[in-house]
A = this chain, B = another copy of it.
Amino acid sequence: MNIDSVDFYYASMPEVTLEADGSQDALLVRVTADGHEGWGECEASPLTSIAAFITPRSHGVCQPVAASVIGERLDGPDDIHRIARLVARNSMDLLQAGHTWSGIEIALWDLLGKVRDEPVWRLLGYTENHAKLPYASMLMGDTPQETLDRARLARTNGFRAVKFGWGSYGTGTAAADADHVAAAREGLGDDAQLLIDAGQIWGDDVDAAIARLEALENAHATWLEEPFVPHAYVAHAALASRARTVGVAGGEGAHTVHMATNLIDYGGVRFIQVDAARIGGIGPSKAVADHAVRHGTTYVNHTFTSHLALSASLQPFAGLADHRICEYPVEPKPVALAISSNHILPDANGEVRAPEAPGLGIEVDLIGLLPYLRHVEISIDHERVYTSPEVPNKVSHVV
């Protein structure tokens, strides 16, 4: 097969707020090759990612992503890895390229899986598809009582692992944060996993993070996520060396494999959290998972958006029985749910797993997405260089 087309569908809520909720918009990618179709998603700024695909070249290693993709051979996984190397080389100086490529790469796996009638996790070499324990991500409450109430609600809703973060966490005193963490534990009871997400709030201030450790360990928190900015390995390592029972977690900011493996090799994280829709897709995510297995680090997906992104993020560690916990979008915005007509739902045990269907096993629903689609046009010197794709005919007829 040859890659014939790459189309971007930019969807968003009518109003996008300042919430730390990444499900408010989406950039879907459709790739076609010899009549076959695959879908992926970039967890990234839609307009900027589109620009990185079609921008005029700046020089030989600052080329648009399109230059390395359109027309390329696609006969198997090796071709995906080969095209990934092309993009990395030809778009070396185009920072956004990694985010743009991520959605395309995911679509290539989906396409290849459909052609071969295999789920992507089998194409990756896994022979089993293990159930994962989904955790619910929630905002820390405005008051400890609110945090406690939310924790209770999450238990009522059946979650055995819950993550709290953002909101006020890390911005006030360590004592105030300790109250929230204790409230979260109280609300969850003793038998649920408690995860805390600092959302990079301390930059690279190790002391600020260390000041929170005691409360986290008293509450038996499983991990402290993203205490620092993603490249601050020295800070991560300093914190990890002081932590006893709580593990340091991070990785969602990684846009290359090395950024994630460095967090393991130098940062001492116990949990490496990878967003396939940012790191360059499923292939790079699997490479990080392999590295994690070799180093005794637990792999966890990062997913806050659609079930297409969720499926993509589950594939790289579907076959790893011991890497049990998985991030699950609990309250995504309607646009994120509208992306697909099917969803990955918890089973009777409250567990989820990657689909068994070919490719990513997710049916993209352009009809459902129509109310959210946004139309982009870009001109240079009054010549149109980009127009959003028309929605396919069969969909248009429905409107």
Interface residues of A (CB under 8 A from B): 12, 16-22, 24-25, 43-48, 50-52, 54-64, 85, 88-89, 92-96, 98-99, 199-200, 203-204, 229, 231-234, 253, 255-256, 258-259, 261-262, 265-266, 278, 374-382
Contacts and interface: CB of A to CB of B under 8 A. Distances in A.
A251 B227 CA distance: 25
B258 A22 contact: no
A122 B44 CA distance: 39
A78 to B, nearest CB: 16
Contacts of A377: 377-380, 382
Contact of A52 (B19, B48, B62, B382): B48
Given A47-B51, A48-B51, A262-B262, A22 B58 contact: yes
A378 B43 CA distance: 21
Interface centre among A22, A46, A234, A258 (most CB of B within 10 A): A258
A93 B231 contact: no
A62 B305 CA distance: 14
Contacts of A62: 22, 44-45
B381 A378 contact: no
A33 to B, nearest CB: 25
A75 B179 CA distance: 39
Given A25-B58, A52-B96, A378-B379, 14 more contacts: A16-B58, A18-B57, A22-B59, A24-B59, A44-B93, A44-B94, A47-B56, A88-B229, A95-B98, A95-B255, A234-B261, A377-B380, A377-B382, A378-B378
